[in-house]
Amino acid sequence: MTAKVYTIASGKGGAGKTTTTVNLGTSLAELGKKTLILDADIGMANLGLVLGLEKSEVTLHEVLAGTADVEDAIYDGPNGLKVLPSGISLQGFQNADPEKMIDVMGKLVEKYDYMLIDAPAGISKDGVVPLAIADDVILVVNPEISSLADALKIKVLVEMIDSTVMGVVLNRVGTTTTELSKQKVESLLDARILETVPDDTNVRNASAFRMPVVVKYPESPASISFKRLAASLAGVEMPVETEEVEKKEGFVDRLARALFGGI
């Protein structure tokens, strides 16, 4: 078994990269896939924060510093998900050597079906390694021109290092009436939309409980999108109950558009 490795990247912070990593990983694990999510944003780590692992004594920082074994830095997440967080201390960041990430991946890739790497936002030296070691890169983009402009820079960088952008997760759709359409995003980035995730207050509510939205609110619109993306990546059918909920949500959305003009 050799893991399929996806690096989840964005051109700017706040696009929803970590949220996508956590919920997509949890959804893959729910499908019975051995899945590990890894926080490669060693300078501004927050994957552990959203899952309540910020007090973990051993993290990727210690592994990259050569003072701990990688297996000791892996923790249990929801649905059987495995989590390799980075630490939140500045000293841990200073001691970590990003170049050792390749060695870490080599020790893990044979143990999982899927590995999702939460990459640093933007362009940096530390961010190149996660992009280079992935089988494919998935860009997380908001439907606004500034987010697309920054994502386009990441896409160019990915192509420069001979890696591949598999596609785009268009996140927080439906926040404004002036946002860019799916077709416009695909045209500007020259990449296909893998999934659209609606703006959903349940995502923020679940975060307050340190839980993925797909666990806390499994029938919410965002959860359905993340589960659909996981099913697509895994090559399996969507669960019947999820399809039924999706149809109900779709009817509500259509009714809202008819009554309120898309609000």
Domain that holds residue 225: 4-260
Q: What's the DSSP call for residue 11?
A: S
Mean pLDDT for each 10-residue chunk of the chain (263 residues)?
A: 94 94 98 97 91 93 96 97 92 87 93 97 83 96 95 95 96 91 95 97 96 98 98 86 48 51 45
Angle between helices 125-132 and 101-108 (to 10 degrees): 30
Number of domains observed in the structure of the chain: 1
pTM value is: 0.89
The pLDDT value given to residue 180: 95
Q: Is there a contact between 141 and 9 (Cβ–Cβ < 8 Å)?
A: no
What is the tens place of the pLDDT at every residue in 27-36?
A: 999 999 999 9
Residue with tokens 């990430």: 101
pLDDT at site 250 = 52
Nearest Cα to Cα of residue 169 among 188, 186, 157: 186
Report the alpha-carbon distance of residue 18 to residue 171 in Å, rounded.
12
From CA 123, how far away is CA 43, in angstroms rounded? 13
Place of tokens 């790497």: 117
Half-sphere exposure of 93 (CA within 13 A, CB side): 12
| CA–CA distance, 216 with 252 (Å, rounded to integer) | 21
Please write the tens of the pLDDT for every residue from 13-66.
899 999 999 999 999 999 999 999 999 999 888 999 999 998 899 999 999 999
pLDDT for residue 226: 98
CATH number, residue 129: 3.40.50.300
